[in-house]
Amino acid sequence: MKKIIFTLFLFSITISQAQYCLFFDFKAEEPEMVLSSIKGMMESDWGKNMQATKSLFAYTMNGTNQATHQLQFCFPTEEAFENAFISWGQSSVAQLLQNKLEQYSVDVRESLNTPIWYNGEDWAEDNVFMIYEMKVSDPGSYLKEFQSFSKKIAKKLGFDDSSYGLALPIVGKNEDFTHFVWIGAPDIKTSLSNTKKMYSDSMFAEFSKKVNGVREVINTTMIVRLMDF
């Protein structure tokens, strides 16, 4: 995690949808100690004063990703993001807890991500997410087709109140994929049921045919919310 924190001080960008989510994927070698360290960090002054949602997820099916967990910090503005990491550098308690966390886990992947387009005011209302990592060669065309398809299929299958959208990593970019889609659900059974229905629907076949030349699905994963801090 330290690598991205220092890199982020050099980062400056303005996007119309000013929302940023830090994803820390890691392999927990001693889950109980990892959870204790994360809780300690979030209960420190640094964690309490962070203007962000703070959530821990577990991978239930993680494809080719070697991580067991994902820690997310989602910031509403650039200023909130900047303040959090300036304060991290000034908090000896937070850094000591970070060092403790590194003793019981292995970093797998780190990225700062931003949504391009999404449905749902707050993805914190969903507890399970299907994630589709993709290589997209024509982002504009893909976004147009995805918006049209996702709105129609969500209404048809009854998950139009859930969060779903298209995002991309802007720091810590992974060479394997350029964009990812997420689809939220209240629980695992609903997520699996909706996914199965979507795959068997004729609209999905039509959508896949339209975007076949501009996107390649690299990995699919499912993450489950364990707790918010």
Quick check: 204 and 153 in contact, CB under 8 A?
yes
| pLDDT for res 55 | 95
What are the pLDDT digits (tens) for 110-145? 999 999 999 976 677 899 999 999 999 999 999 999
Q: Would you place residue 178 in the very low, low, confident or very high pLDDT band (cuts 50, 70, 90)?
A: very high
Q: Would you place residue 173 in the very low, low, confident or very high pLDDT band (cuts 50, 70, 90)?
A: low
Residue 156 has pLDDT above 80, yes or no: yes
Residue 17 has pLDDT above 80, yes or no: no
What domains are defined for the chain? 2-113 (3.30.70.100), 117-228 (3.30.70.100)
Residue 15 has pLDDT above 60, yes or no: no
Quick check: 75 and 112 in contact, CB under 8 A?
no
End-to-end Cα distance, the chain:
19
What are the pLDDT digits (tens) for 23-51? 999 999 998 888 888 888 888 888 888 99
20 contact partners, CB below 8 Å, separation of at least 6: 74, 75, 78, 81, 112, 113, 114
Q: What Cα–Cα distance (Å) separates residue 177 from each residue in 39, 50, 88, 115, 218?
A: 31, 29, 29, 15, 7
**Mean pLDDT (whole number) for 142-171:** 95
| pLDDT for res 164 | 96
What are the pLDDT digits (tens) for 46-102? 888 899 999 999 999 887 888 999 999 999 999 999 998 888 878 887 787 778 888
